Each structure stands twice: as structure tokens, then as C-alpha cells.
Amino acid sequence: MRNKRLSREGRREALTGFLFASPWLVGFLVFGLVPILLSMYYSLCRYDVLRPPMFIGLENYRYLFTESSTFYKSVYNTLYYTVFRVPLVVLGS
């Protein structure tokens, strides 16, 4: 059975590959993953631009699903647009 350790040249190639991929990885973290994680955090907070965020747990979601008068209307409008308008535009183009 061969030894699974990388040789010096193999380590160098792996490091070179990582260095070539690192700009994409940094870009993904900064512009992709960080905003997603921050939005998840802020969705669990009472947030005001003038004050720091205050953690309130799932209260925003409870309000959204039980008390919001516009949420279900916006979901309906989105589904309607997606099901009827988008196919018409695709067929028309």
C-alpha cells in the first residue's frame, strides 16, 4: 500500500491551486456568504438604522405569518407573476 502523504512537489501544487482559487474564495465569502449570514442574523433582530440591532428571536416571523396584512398578498402576486407573466414573456420573445 502506498503512502498517502503528499510529496514536496504535491504540496507545492496543492498550495499553488489554493492560491489561484483564493481570490474567488475571498470574493464568495465577502459578497455571498457574509451577506446571507448577516441577513439571517438581522431577521432575528429588531433593527433600526439609528440603534444597534436587538435580538428578538422569531418574533419577526411570528408577526409575518400571523399579523402582516401584506405578506400573503405579496406571495400571491409573486406566484401569479411567475406562473402567468414569465411564460408569456418567454413565449413572446
Please give the pLDDT value at position 6.
78
Residue 43's closest CA among 68, 63, 14? 63
Distance CA 84, CA 72 (A): 18
Distance CA 20, CA 16 (A): 6
Residues near 46 by Cβ (< 8 Å), separated by ≥ 6? 53, 54, 56, 59, 60
Segment 5-14 long-range contacts (CB within 8 Å, at least 24 positions apart): none
In this prediction, the residues of the chain whose per-residue pLDDT falls under 50 are none
Distance CA 20, CA 6 (A): 19
pTM of the model: 0.64
pLDDT, tens digit, for every residue of 26-46? Answer: 999 999 999 999 999 999 999
